[in-house]
Amino acid sequence: MEGGDGGPYNRCTIEEVYGDYEGRRTGIIQALTTDVEEFYKRCDPDRENFCLFAYPNGQWEVTLPAEDVPPELPEPTLGINFARDGMPAKDWLALVAAHSEGWLLSVAFYFAARFGFDRDERKILFNMINDLPTVFEIVTGAGAGAPKKQHSEKSVITNHGGSKMKSSSKLRAAESHARALNVNPHYEEEEYYDEEEHGNTLCGACGKHGGLDEFWIGCDKCERWFHGRCVKVTPAKAEHMKQYKCPACSNKRIRP
């Protein structure tokens, strides 16, 4: 997909526009979850009118808006940094998430207009986007993107070889493979893992499902679930944790 730097636009498919949306969305989610401490630092209220940009390759950047008027692409909300210290941190992050979702949609449908998508093509694109949880849902843990609370705090970590290692009663970590095979992670209470209830859990960092052999870990504070690879936690590392806090919850500087 060309353009964005003043270059020409070639006709792209629905899948290519969706891929552009998904890449930018990944960058926004990364900034507001896994990289939240770095994002917070960059949003200095004493600096200029900053925007949160994300790019098709999944990278993000806090920077000034484009100098061109009108800009080549729709632009994110201006001046997000000014409210950083004027409201509770989690409310500020939620507000940035909501505005970022609006920006992602505006960019996707800007391309739809530029490429001459007809009504049916725009509907297909919207439905593909709408199947994903919003950035707001992922950042706040609200709505369809929020994993449901476990019935018991006791759990096990199941490694890729299928063996089980008992963890701390405060650590809620499991693997999708165990869920798919209906392995009981609460074996001490003889409760069976509800595959229908938990099989559609979305990662709080990337917003996607995992493979059947994916390692997951749950945050003891916000109760969201994450792919281990997204938060850089391995099964071996998790085994020795008394509790786990995700990057957003462990960042003491931005707690309300």
- Residue 1 included in any domain: no
Do 29 and 120 lie in a common domain?
yes
- Residue 78 included in any domain: yes
Q: What is the pTM for the complete model shown?
A: 0.59
Do 104 and 206 lie in a common domain?
no
Tens digits of residue pLDDT in 152-187: 333 333 333 333 333 333 334 443 433 333 434 433
Q: Taking 70 as the threshold, does the pLDDT of residue 230 lie above it?
A: yes
Q: Rounded to an integer, what is the distance from CA 51 to the centroid of its chain?
A: 19
Place of tokens 């990278």: 59
- Residue 3 included in any domain: no
Rounded CA gap, 164 and 162, in Å?
Answer: 7
CATH code of the domain covering residue 237: 3.30.40.10
The length of the chain in residues reads: 256
Do 137 and 245 lie in a common domain?
no
Q: Which of 126, 145, 164 is the last residue of a domain?
A: 145
Q: Decide: 12 and 111 in contact? Cβ < 8 Å.
A: yes
Do 101 and 120 lie in a common domain?
yes
Residue 228: which domain range? 156-254
- pLDDT value of residue 136: 95
Strand order in the sheet with 172-175: 172-175, 215-218, 225-227
Q: Which of 101, 122, 145 is the last residue of a domain?
A: 145
- Residue 64 included in any domain: yes
- Show the DSSP H helices in the chain as ranges: 14-32, 36-42, 89-114, 119-130, 135-140, 176-180, 195-198, 235-239, 247-250
Do 25 and 85 lie in a common domain?
yes
- Residue 118 included in any domain: yes
Place of tokens 């996607």: 208
Place of tokens 């896994």: 34
pLDDT band, very low/low/confident/very high, at 1 (cuts 50, 70, 90): low
Do 232 and 166 lie in a common domain?
yes
Do 201 and 111 lie in a common domain?
no
Do 131 and 46 lie in a common domain?
yes
Do 62 and 164 lie in a common domain?
no
Q: Decide: 164 and 156 in contact? Cβ < 8 Å.
A: yes
Tens digits of residue pLDDT in 124-153: 999 999 999 999 999 998 754 444 444 333
Do 121 and 25 lie in a common domain?
yes
Do 193 and 136 lie in a common domain?
no
Element (H, E) at 158: strand 156-158
- Residue 242 included in any domain: yes
Tens digits of residue pLDDT in 90-100: 999 999 999 99
Tens digits of residue pLDDT in 77-121: 999 999 999 899 999 999 999 999 999 999 999 999 999 999 999
Q: Which of 145, 168, 196 is the last residue of a domain?
A: 145
Q: Taking 80 as the threshold, does the pLDDT of residue 37 lie above it?
A: yes
- For the chain, how many structural domains are there in total? 2
Do 30 and 119 lie in a common domain?
yes
- pLDDT value of residue 204: 83
Q: What is the mean pLDDT of the chain?
A: 76
- Residue 7 included in any domain: no
- pLDDT value of residue 166: 32
pLDDT band, very low/low/confident/very high, at 194 (cuts 50, 70, 90): very low
